[in-house]
Structure 1
Amino acid sequence: MSENIDTAELGEKIVNVLKTIYDPEIPVDIYELGLIYDVFVNEDNDVKILMTLTTPNCPVAETLPLEVEEKVKSLDEVKGAEVEITFDPPWTQELMSEEAKLELGML
């Protein structure tokens, strides 16, 4: 019998994975930086992540979305993962969590 996991619990696991991925130029994870706009999980445990980058010409524009996709796919419960990059709305420092601002000395 396969393990049933609800989408909220899986969402938490995905967020925990996202918190292990760091922007190489800023010592804060991409979740706390506010780069993750949304995480969608359907009933088949397919995941879609809507995220942005700090700038459109970010040096990791090619590699960071792939890293996010691969790490999320590594969760046993996830059947598939897709990352969509958007710049609407553009990322600003206001999207950072209090934790990220504190880490960067902005508070």
Structure 2
Amino acid sequence: MKIEDKIWSALEDVLDPEVGVNIVDLGLVYEIKVDDAGRAHVEMTLTIPQCPLADEIVKNVKEATAAVSGVKEVDVALVWEPKWSPARMNDRAREEIRARRSLV
């Protein structure tokens, strides 16, 4: 398994605390690159630019990425283009959100 694939898998454990769904299923992660020196670059967005939990989410992304074997350094870039929309979510995220709403 490629190191990028391992990072994608690790990021499935990082939740958006407000939504309660992982950032991969939400479509917040746009790109992952790792160079030969083990420097990982994660390009991602948030559901809204003013997200009050942005620092926490980025910290969790860095920690999850750094825990992957072979990663020596982590850089997380928050980008706003393309803008996130619910259309970026996969079916699993939609089902989790529907299930959470039905519990309320």
Q: Deviations over 1:52-88 (max 9, x none)?
A: 0110111111221122112211223101110000111
What's the counterpart of residue 69 of structure 1? Answer: 62
Separation in 2, partners of 1:103, 1:71: 22
1:29 is aligned to 22
Number of the residue aligned with 1:92: 85
Runs of 4+ in structure 1 off by over 2 angstroms are none
Give, in whole Å, the separation in 2 of the partners of 1:100 and 1:31.
9
Match of 2:73 in 1: 80
Unaligned runs of 5+ in 1: 1-7
Percent of aligned positions with the same letter in both sequences?
31
Tell me the amino acid that sits aligned with residue 96 of structure 1: M
Greater shift after overlay, 79-88 or 57-66? 57-66
More strand by share: 2
More helix by share: 2
* TM-score of the two chains, using structure 1 as the length reference: 0.85
What secondary structure sits across from 1:64 in the alignment?
A: helix
Letter in 1 for 2:58: P
Aligned counterparts of 1:67 and 1:25: Cα–Cα separation in 2: 14
Over aligned residues, Cα RMSD in angstroms? 1.5
Extract unaligned runs of 5+ from structure 2.
Answer: 100-104
Q: TM-score, normalised by structure 2?
A: 0.87
Of structures 1 and 2, the one scoring higher in RCO (CA 8 A, sep 6+) is 2
